[in-house]
Amino acid sequence: MSFDLSVIPHKNIVLAVTGGIAAYKSAILVRRLKDYGFDVRVVMTHGAQAFITPLTFQALSGNPVHTELLDPAAEAGMGHIELARWADLLLVAPASCDTLAKFAHGLADDLLSTVFLATKSPVWVAPAMNQQMWAAKATQRNLQTLVEDGVHVIMPDAGEQACGDVGLGRMPEPEEIARQVAGYFHQAQRAIAEKFGLLAGKRVVITAGPTREAIDPVRYISNHSTGKMGFALAAACYAAGAQVTLIAGPVSLDTPNGVKRVNVASARQMLDISMDSLETGCDIFIATAAVADYRVAEVAEHKIKKAGDELNVSLVKNPDIVATIAGQEKRPFMVGFAAETQNVEEYAAGKLVAKKLDMIACNDVSRADIGFASDENAMTVFFAENYHMKKRELEKASKQEISQQLVEAISDALRRK
Ligand code: C5P
């Protein structure tokens, strides 16, 4: 089976290593699991420590290794209940005969057996043992019980064993085990996406339209943004299962079905409402608004009267909304937009870095067929991923279709993060 790595969600794996010569392979297994983006914590039985040291796993996993049930230090950090809750999957590799027997009979006399009993997450075991021990009636009976209890068994390979025997009992290669685990989450993710949408359960905040900066009670500075892109994205995010808040500047568009809309006029109002949204909860912040870069320094209290041939209005810089949100300690996944008339990609990539965004979608507004008032758009999306810049082209399409492509790009990037 092959699958797109970008749709494997970030998950926590508790890898339990038990006593057996195959324990050396588990060191590589940690690496391979991390290659798929999983966070890995290792639990070792006493038996395992006769084969390989906790230090090896600590270095490879980047997390402390858990060995004792009644270790006061471990309890303060992460005891068996916390480990059991933290795990999205408990993977026991290699799983010794003794461990299988304990699991099958519900014994709880060490850390691993208690984590097993305390977790609600799926449990996978990769038995590895001498072929005679594998074939023993008691082992097979225990395995049968575990399968009936819902434990997933990664079947051992056949071949030459460390003890010199030939037969079933070798732990599969780490690459293969990691691939199966990733495949499991990939399938599960696909099923959720198909049933509930790519952004199921995510809280999305979108800024859209222009801002309007008052000069006096009857005049203002604004721009040609119609808000179409932001509104189309709001509809696409809602259709993808997200809870959507749309912070809209003055535009004449209907609120998309299911979307919560907050109307604002100025950039500062847009910033205030955006900051409020962080308090109430925001996983993804998408800034499509064409925010006025400057506002009038002092808004006249009364209508400015015609006088003389020139009128000078002093402007001051507006806050950068998306950069301000990206600078917050608990920041959501940040998506910006860049409308440029020249050096489109270069400027957009620069903004991705300067505004500390996770993703920026850019388009060339000098083209008459796409952009501001058009119903169509074509975009290049840049992602910041592990300090590397990645690029994805979105073909020219209606703003609705582009929005769906963007939702997919956001959902992929979010999972990779
Ligand atoms: O700097 P520029 O306006 O080209 O950056 C575009 C991106 O930054 C868009 O995502 C836009 O919504 C956002 N932005 C903002 N606040 C500003 C200016 C731009 O959120 N004051």
DSSP annotation of 7: G
Q: Residue 27 half-sphere exposure, CB side, CA atoms within 13 Å?
A: 16
Coil vs helix vs strand at 90: strand
pLDDT confidence bin for 211, thresholds 50/70/90: very high
Closest of 41, 44, 127 to residue 88, by C-alpha? 41
Ligand 1 contacts (CB < 6 A) are: 207, 267, 287-289, 291, 318, 320-322, 336-338, 351
Residue with the bigger pLDDT between 386 and 282: it is 282
Share of the chain above pLDDT 70, in %: 95
CA angle at residue 170 from 168 to 171, to 5 degrees? 130
| Cα-to-centroid distance, 301 and ligand 1 (Å) | 28
**89-106 mean pLDDT:** 98
Lowest mean pLDDT among 12-16, 78-82, 108-112, 119-123: 78-82
Closest-CA residue to 30 (of 58, 61, 52): 61
Q: What average pLDDT does the chain have?
A: 91
Tell me if 320 is assigned to a ligand binding site: yes
Whether 237 is catalytic is no
Q: 389 C-alpha vs ligand 1 centroid, how far in Å?
A: 20
Which are the contacts of 24, defined by CB distance < 8 A and separation ≥ 6? 51, 52
* pLDDT bracket for residue 1 (50, 70, 90): very low
| Domains in the chain with CATH codes | 11-185 (3.40.50.1950), 198-416 (3.40.50.10300)
